[in-house]
Amino acid sequence: MKKTLLLTTAGVAIVLASCATSGNKTAENTGKENDPAEVAALPGSREYILKDSVGGEEDGISLVSFNAQVYLPENEDNDSVVIATISQMISERLNAMFDEEDSDKVNIKAYEGEPNADAMLGYYANELKRMYAETYPDTAEVRPIYSYIFSVMPVWTNNQLITYDIYNENYTGGAHGMNVDYYATYSLPHYDRIAIANLVSKDSIKGVYDKVAEKLKLLNVALTDTDNVTAALNSDAIEGIDETIDGSSYPIPAIYGDMMVFSYQPYQKAAYSEGVISIEIPLSSIKDAMISK
């Protein structure tokens, strides 16, 4: 699955896809670049875009850039809940940009203002600048370039559940940036996040992950952990993307049409160059395990 989205960071145009630096890997194509139908926002979705940056003193380079594209569902009646949910997503990803040692000094709280997407994005752009200024004041010997890209769009619903495609890329120095790309499913209308325990019976969870393991092994990649194929290394667990089951971290699945999708982020199962690894399990193959048929 692929989405196309053009944003700009630090003066450089970037096309967002399932992985901005390399092709998305799926078991269906055994590791070759995947290029099925493009992912698009649900019909009638409302688009909001914000591009904001703070210029540096040399060469006109932006020290801090914030670029976001958010789609809200067509129905405005639930905007307060939707915006609160998206706010939590952005806060988690922004806070993850900064080292743990800075967590006491700089921390972004979820937006709590009026249910207005433009105001929400403006709040986070300003918060990113604040975090950067507190971490790297004008007197700092080194002030790296920081950039943040965020995209979220509703892509599937059956009027009881709704699934979002969420992409985040940030650069904080070094050889390359870091990105995450995943689906998240919520129950309607209250937007409670759906985890695997909400989808399949407790006794069936292991069997579902066994199917994920079978597909992972089909990929033409070197897996980082062959002892527990379906688990991400606990040190690489990502808040809001992974859940802990029996002491191990696993990607929280999402429902997309007739598939249950598990997304492993760069480094979780293979080298960074392999990109995001998505495993799709047909619901028809686990229908006896599903709590709701």
> Cα(133)–Cα(128) distance, rounded to whole angstroms?
9
Task: Identify the domain containing residue 101 by its residue range.
Answer: 5-193
Instruction: Note whether 53 and 189 are same-domain residues.
Output: yes
pLDDT of residue 263: 93
- In this prediction the pTM is 0.83
Residue 156 scores a pLDDT above 90: yes
CATH number of the domain to which 164 belongs: 3.30.565.40
Residue 196 scores a pLDDT above 50: yes
**Which of 142, 176, 193 corresponds to the end of one domain?**
193
Instruction: Note whether 110 and 186 are same-domain residues.
Output: yes
Domain count, the chain: 2
Instruction: Note whether 165 and 123 are same-domain residues.
Output: yes
Within 9-143, residue ranges assigned H as helices are: 79-95, 117-135
Mean pLDDT on 161-167? 96
Q: 291 lies in a domain?
A: no
Q: Please, what's the b/e burial string for 134-169 (b: 16 or more CB within 10 A of its CB; e: otherwise)?
A: ebbeeeeeebebbbbbbbbbbbbbeeebbbbbbbbb
Mean pLDDT on 138-152? 87
**Which of 130, 162, 193 corresponds to the end of one domain?**
193
Residues 6+ apart with CB under 8 A from 206: none
Give me the amino acid identity at 165.
D
Q: 240 lies in a domain?
A: yes
User: Which of 279 and 23 is assigned the larger pLDDT?
Assistant: 279
Instruction: Note whether 255 and 161 are same-domain residues.
Output: no
Query: Mean pLDDT: which of 44-53, 228-237, 271-280 is highest?
Result: 44-53
pLDDT of residue 7: 39
Tokens for 80, please give them. 């307060």
